[in-house]
Amino acid sequence: MPGPNPTMQALVLHEASPSLALQLQELPMPSIGANEVLVEVEYVGLNHIDARLGAEGFCRWQYPHVLGIDAVGTVVEAPVGVFPKRGTRVIFTTSLADQGVLKRYTKVANYAVAEVPESIPSAVAATLPNAGMTALAALDKIQLQAGESIYINSGCGAVAHFAIQYARQRGAKVFVSAPKGEHERIKDLGADVLFASKGEQLARDIKRELGPDGFDTILNSCGGETFVADLARLRFGGRIACLNGFSEIPQELLFSRAPIIAAVSLGGAWLANNLCAQQKLSFMGQQLLQDVGSGKIQAPGHRIVAFDVKLVSEALRQLYQQSTAVRPVVAVKPG
């Protein structure tokens, strides 16, 4: 329970910049509303989106801004009759538009959290929310069915880590593009076919493995021109999920593929102020915790980073500059 001191420590960003230079700052303690709980943050799971928006900015931010959308911690204050009660350990992902969770305490809607079972360490739980929920949302959007093919255009990140496993469990045949050095790890997750080639050679390799018809479904995590390239790999009437927007689609390609295009925006639950979507975040969190706890799903690798300006800034820069399967997890509480 927070003491009489009305402030707390936070790592803040004073401007969007690829340097991602954070500063330690004292901020006022959050005050909770009727359907909110106050959480003492234990670990923060850093995501590529944290690094990208920190480097490039976001239209809804005011500075200084606190980065971080995924956290695990303990409820220390809750209105009477509101679940979860004090002492409950929870995971959650928060709104991109609001101040983030790289701080000692944060508030969150009580209906958007998931209770962490004792069997799952907090640092592992912190790796699950955004990436795992995005993977689940993407597979649901494209309505992946048993016996269908799915192509994941970048197998290195945490979203792909979950998507590969869940796609395989749904009975799909999983094709993944990734650097050679990642193939053994990705194969262990359940991928059937891996590609390391690019451009025209990748097109030839896909045709050799799949035949001329194209993929039933595609998960495109990179956006931009890669989305258009992936559309050309889709069968007629196939479904494609895009996580990061896309450039203009050539008319001929649109007609020749007649695709079902699904934009996946986990943060949209908050940006659209959609209560049902926010509650679904809790349900997906519960599913991830249950699947990881039972051994059905393997959590992504992680490394612990101390709550330190230089160390966290460097971790964010590494995320911005490269894809990595090992995600930084910030230990907010001293220990």
Q: Which residues pair with 25 in a beta bridge?
A: 10
Spell out the domains of the chain, with CATH numbers in brackets. Answer: 7-127+272-331 (3.90.180.10), 133-263 (3.90.180.10)
The answer to whether 195 and 127 are in contact (CB under 8 A) is no
Per-residue tens of pLDDT for the chain, all 335 residues: 555 568 999 999 999 999 999 999 999 999 999 999 999 999 999 999 999 999 999 999 999 999 999 999 999 999 999 999 999 999 999 999 999 999 999 999 999 999 999 999 999 999 999 999 999 999 999 999 999 999 999 998 899 999 999 999 999 999 999 999 999 999 999 999 999 988 889 989 999 999 888 999 999 998 888 999 999 999 999 999 999 888 889 999 999 999 999 999 999 999 999 999 999 999 999 999 999 999 999 999 999 999 999 999 999 999 999 866 678 899 997 65
